[in-house]
Amino acid sequence: MRDILLLGFIVLLCLSMFKKPFYGVLAWCWVSYMLPHKLTWGFMNHFPVAQVVAISFVVSLLFYKESKKIAWTAPIGWWVAFNLSMILSFLVGPKDYDAVPFFTQVMKVQIFTFLIYIMLNSRKRVEQTLWVICLSVGFYGVKGGIFAIVTGGENRVWGPSTGYFSGNNELGLALLMVVPLMYYLGQTLTSKWLKYGMFTAILLCLMAVLGTQSRGALVAILTVGVFFWLKSNRKFLTMCLLIFMLPIGYSFMPDSWHERMSTIVASDEESYDGSIQGRFNAWRMATNLASDHILGGGFDAFNPMNFNLYAPRPDDIHDAHSIYFKVIGLQGFPGFFVFMAMWISAWRLANTVQKLVKEHQDLLWADQLSRMLQLSFIAYASGGAFLGLSYFDLPYHMLISVSAIYVIVKRELKDKEPKKPPQGFYAKQAMYR
């Protein structure tokens, strides 16, 4: 019955796209992040839901009558350059068994994110997209938070069965990226009870982050906490809230969690456990590979052959487990430079938005949202240092959101400017009229 209901809802969504193509954006985000078909046990579990939604979305765009003009910003320019770097790295790299499907998957994410950006031309659309993303990812956070509380944190919290954030570490990072956005969206609610509900959901998501028992997530949650205080307009209240909440969450977790977190810092490299030493080995391999091949090793760089050639310990084969070293290994140092420039430019553009709207009360939403998006970047930058989610679609959705907000703000400010009176020949014509 659940499968039939889901299929019917997907069909209705696809049909609605031809009336309003923006529904395709919301449907794609829902299917990509929540993976609703994986919550069924019948035929829908293996049904190509994403492909059906994607095809319907693309076809509906062909009849989309609104302007499809691309609004260029610095982050979008760097993003395009990063995609060109990926394509070049793939073309010159070996086409091994895993390289082609990985590259295909990444490019699908990038293309659809670009199509979404074209349609984010209003505040309402930006917020609607973020609502779908936050509710989809937050679903696993609320469920995981309840699980962590019920089990006393003894068992790890995991993400959906498939997808970019199926693992415990990946789920922790994804949740930390959406929590600041949930905070912003909660401020837009008018109902007191809905605000309480959102605040409860945020607390459960944070509990789920702790329940993942991810060391990288702990580093990220502390980093985000510091920047949340810095970006807050009510610093004293925020500090009191953090001082009150962090000890409670920390003391709630079991001894096994404390023992695992205590291994984050060690006196020397040999004192770290095998997982962390494997990361160090993979990072050195990626650096050595990029030093030998300017464009990196392609989309299957972390393979046994490259470890045998470039790793200090050839038999210790690991994924990069770092957004930075993953890009270095796959795309080389030029690709890494573009990758970093992309995120730095997105951060700076968010700062620009905050300066532009500082004295415009009706645009303060852009100030608040851009600040929360910066916190999402901080979560990605800190937690991603220990996870290989370089091509995860969520941070790219944050990037296009910042660019869309900037374009919307510039348009709104331009509309507010007083129109200049006609000059020269046209001024004289107006006078004679």
Compute CA 169 distance to the chain's CA centroid, rounded to the nearest angstrom: 14
Is residue 428 in a domain? no
**Inter-axis angle of helices 393-416 and 123-150, nearest 10:** 140
CA–CA gap between residue 140 and residue 147 (Å, rounded):
10
Is residue 423 in a domain? no
Could you tell me if 152 and 220 lie in one domain? yes
Compute CA 222 distance to the chain's CA centroid, rounded to the nearest angstrom: 18
On the question of pLDDT at 45 being above 90, the answer is: no
Average pLDDT of every residue of the chain: 87
Could you tell me if 231 and 182 lie in one domain? yes
Instruction: Tell which wins on pLDDT, 422 or 275.
Output: 275
What phi and psi values does residue 46 have, to the nearest 5 degrees?
-115, 10
Question: CB-based contacts of 89: which residues, under 8 Å, 6+ apart?
Answer: 295, 296, 298, 299, 330, 331, 332, 335
| DSSP structure class, residue 1 | -
Over the stretch 349-369, which tens digit does the pLDDT of each residue have? 999 999 999 888 889 999 999
Over the stretch 146-163, which tens digit does the pLDDT of each residue have? 998 998 878 888 888 888
Residue for token pair 């470890």: 307
Contact 290, 296 (CB under 8 A): yes
- What's the chain's length in residues? 433
Among residues 265, 294, 318, which one ends one of the domains? 265
- pLDDT number for residue 342: 97
CA distances to 24, 60, 79, 117, 163 from 19, rounded to whole Å, are: 10, 8, 31, 19, 30
Is residue 46 in a domain? yes
Could you tell me if 248 and 190 lie in one domain? yes
Could you tell me if 382 and 325 lie in one domain? yes
| DSSP structure class, residue 272 | S
Could you tell me if 363 and 299 lie in one domain? yes
- pLDDT number for residue 252: 72
Is residue 427 in a domain? no
Is residue 41 in a domain? yes
Could you tell me if 133 and 233 lie in one domain? yes
Region 195-216: mean pLDDT is 89
**Inter-axis angle of helices 364-383 and 215-231, nearest 10:** 150
Among residues 238, 265, 292, which one ends one of the domains? 265
Q: Which residues of 269-279 are buried (b: 16+ CB within 10 A; e: fewer)?
A: eeebeeebbbb
- pLDDT number for residue 319: 85
Could you tell me if 24 and 96 lie in one domain? no
- pLDDT number for residue 348: 96
Region 91-110: mean pLDDT is 88
| DSSP structure class, residue 38 | G
Percent of the chain with pLDDT over 70: 89
Secondary structure, 3-state, 279-336: HHHHHHHHHHHHHHCCCCCCCCCCCHHHHHHHCCCCCCCCCCCCHHHHHHHHHHHHHH
Could you tell me if 390 and 293 lie in one domain? yes
Give one DSSP letter per residue of 384-400, joined into a string: GGGS--TT-HHHHHHHH
Q: H helices within 158-303, ranges in order? A: 168-188, 192-211, 215-231, 235-252, 255-261, 274-292
Could you tell me if 133 and 2 lie in one domain? no
Helix (H, G, I), strand (E, B), or coil: what is residue 135? helix
Q: How many CA atoms lie within 13 A of 368 on its CB side?
A: 18
Among residues 225, 242, 265, which one ends one of the domains? 265
CA–CA gap between residue 61 and residue 44 (Å, rounded):
26
Residue-range definition of the domain harbouring residue 202? 125-265
Is residue 432 in a domain? no
| 3-state DSSP helix/strand/coil % of the chain, to nearest 5 | 75, 0, 25
- pLDDT number for residue 277: 82
Cβ neighbours around 53 below 10 Å, total? 22
- Total count of domains within the chain: 3
Could you tell me if 70 and 60 lie in one domain? no
Could you tell me if 54 and 95 lie in one domain? no
Over the stretch 233-292, which tens digit does the pLDDT of each residue have? 666 666 766 676 677 776 777 777 667 776 666 656 666 666 778 888 999 999 999 999
- pLDDT number for residue 265: 64
Could you tell me if 92 and 146 lie in one domain? no
Contact 224, 232 (CB under 8 A): no
CA–CA gap between residue 320 and residue 166 (Å, rounded):
17
CA distances to 165, 292, 311, 313 from 302, rounded to whole Å, are: 20, 15, 10, 13
Is residue 155 in a domain? yes
Asked whether the CA dihedral 193, 199, 203, 206 is positive or negative, the reply is positive
- pLDDT number for residue 291: 94
- pLDDT number for residue 416: 72
What is the token pair recorded at 222? 């502390």
What is the token pair recorded at 215? 């060391």
Average the pLDDT over each of 29-38, 63-72, 107-116, 304-313 and give the range with the smallest value.
63-72
Is residue 298 in a domain? yes
